[in-house]
Amino acid sequence: MSPGETLKTERLALRPFRRDDVDDVDDALAYRNDAEFSRFLPHIPHPFTRQDAEAFVATNCNEPWSRSPTFAVTLDGVLIGTVNFEVDAGTASAMIGYAIGREWWGQGIATEATAAAMKWAVKRFELRRVWASTDVRNTRSRRVLEKLGMRPTHTRLAEHKDRDGTSIEEVVCAVDVKLGR
Ligand SMILES: CC(C)(COP(=O)(O)OP(=O)(O)OC[C@H]1O[C@@H](n2cnc3c(N)ncnc32)[C@H](O)[C@@H]1OP(=O)(O)O)[C@@H](O)C(=O)NCCC(=O)NCCS
């Protein structure tokens, strides 16, 4: 497996997950034990237990970096969120996902982290297109995608249901990467 890489931005470091990240469960990963944080991410268990944290860290450590790189987003050494990609080499495209703990919302952190990660991914995987999908009600997330230069392409019913079993409408957004960028 190719080793992960570390990226630095003005305020953040984005690095691969480490096994010992789970030991920070009472501190760093506590951001995931928040119903407001996972409101539009029903696949994240709530409450988020130590067992969930172990599974989360194990998955992020084991995913192949060449196809599904997942960065731990850190601020002053504290793990505050994630940015991840699902790369489709066949179409030179990648899906981007991101999540930041509520304590750090509204400071441009997600935009700073995703912009740096996207720039890295475009170069690393020679991408021509980056896309994302988000719950239509997730206005913060939609704004992040807009700031990344993505535009809505269509809406669709999500494959997963909401926590109460109802269907979720999601918007798919994408940006075509210009040659030489
Ligand atoms: C979506 C999320 C990543 C945004 O993180 P963030 O660090 O607050 O994002 P930023 O500060 O970079 O940008 C947020 C933008 O939303 C705007 N915003 C904040 N609250 C808003 C609201 N209630 N309605 C509309 N826009 C809002 C902010 O003003 C900002 O835009 P601006 O820079 O033009 O002012 C964060 O809320 C999160 O992790 N949520 C939980 C997980 C999640 O939903 N992830 C996305 C899955 S698709």
Spell out the domain ranges in the chain.
7-176
Q: Is 100 in the pocket of ligand 1 (CB under 6 A)?
A: yes
Instruction: Look at residue 178 in the predicted model and tell me its pLDDT.
Output: 82
Closest-lying ligand 1 atom to the alpha carbon of residue 144 = 13
The closest alpha carbon to 83, from 13, 156, 139, belongs to 13
Distance 153 CA to ligand 1 centre (A): 20
| Residue among 140, 156, 163, 170 to mutate when testing ligand 1 (max atoms within 8 A of CB) | 140
Q: What is the pLDDT along the chain (181 residues), one digit of tens a residue?
A: 567 899 999 999 999 999 999 876 455 588 999 999 999 999 999 999 889 999 999 999 999 999 999 999 999 999 999 999 999 999 999 999 999 999 999 999 999 999 999 999 999 999 999 999 999 999 999 999 999 999 999 999 999 999 999 999 999 999 999 865 5
Q: Is 134 in the pocket of ligand 1 (CB under 6 A)?
A: yes
| Residue among 111, 135, 143 to mutate when testing ligand 1 (max atoms within 8 A of CB) | 143
Q: What's the rounded Cα separation, in Å, for the pair 105 and 28?
A: 15
Q: Is 44 in the pocket of ligand 1 (CB under 6 A)?
A: no
Instruction: Look at residue 28 in the predicted model and tell me its pLDDT.
Output: 52
Q: What is the pTM of this model?
A: 0.96
The CATH number that domain 7-176 falls under is 3.40.630.30
Instruction: Look at residue 42 in the predicted model and tell me its pLDDT.
Output: 97
Q: Is 42 in the pocket of ligand 1 (CB under 6 A)?
A: no
What are the DSSP calls for 75-91, one per residue?
A: ETTEEEEEEEEEEEGGG
Pinpoint the alpha helices (H) of 68-138: 109-125
Q: Are 33 and 47 in contact (CB under 8 A)?
A: yes
Pinpoint the alpha helices (H) of 72-166: 109-125, 139-147
**Pairing mode of beta strands 78-88, 169-176:** unpaired
